[in-house]
Amino acid sequence: MPRDTQQIIQSAFIRVLNQKPLDKITVRDVVSECNVSRNTFYYYYQDIYALLERVLLDETEQALQVDFTDSSWPEGVIASAHFALQNRRAVYHIFQSDGRRFLEKYLNRVVGEVLDRYVRDQAAGLTPDDKDVRLVSMFYRKALIGMMMDWMAHGMKDDPEQIIRRLGQLLDGNIRRILLAAEKNKIV
């Protein structure tokens, strides 16, 4: 029963967050939306930011359950970023608030994990230094997250799925080529 109550509160919070900026949301807004008492809210969450963090942590865990081993990294990023793509307005409200650090943490974990898996998959059969594999993964993660943050800063007007897929087409094969070059230039 407690998990159900938490899910009800979280779902209500996301609905409210899709309607108004995070900094304008009160506990009263959330409990009114889901018809639970303030005491029930405070039993599970210290404040709105604790609720936001829990929502993003749960979404992170769910996103990381996605199996994209037969996909390209763009498909993995799109599949694992389902929450962000389905709740664009809520994400924009988080981006424009003090909760932005939780959003950045979410993106770093999800995109980082997807790219780390993909880069390691691309390294299969090669023998590049593990530091180079991590460096390539970090480079692509930072570049992609930087683009996502820029997209949010500019009002989220373009279709992110198209951007990610197009970037994947433009960079197709580059990760493997980089890892091959790293293998050839290995420092002994």
pLDDT attached to residue 61: 82
The pLDDT, as a whole number, for residue 1 is 42
Residue 113 CA to residue 109 CA, distance in Å, equals 6
Run of H or E residues at 5? helix 2-17
The string of DSSP letters for 112-135 reads HHHHHHHHHHHTTT----HHHHHH
Residue spans of the chain under pLDDT 70: 1-2, 67-71, 80, 187-188
CATH number, domain 2-184, options 3.40.50.300, 2.60.40.10, 1.10.357.10, 3.40.640.10:
1.10.357.10
Question: What is this structure's pTM?
Answer: 0.81
**What is the per-residue pLDDT for 106?**
87
Q: What is the pLDDT of residue 11?
A: 96
Q: Taking Cα atoms as reference points, which of 181, 178, 149, 182 lies closest to residue 163?
A: 149
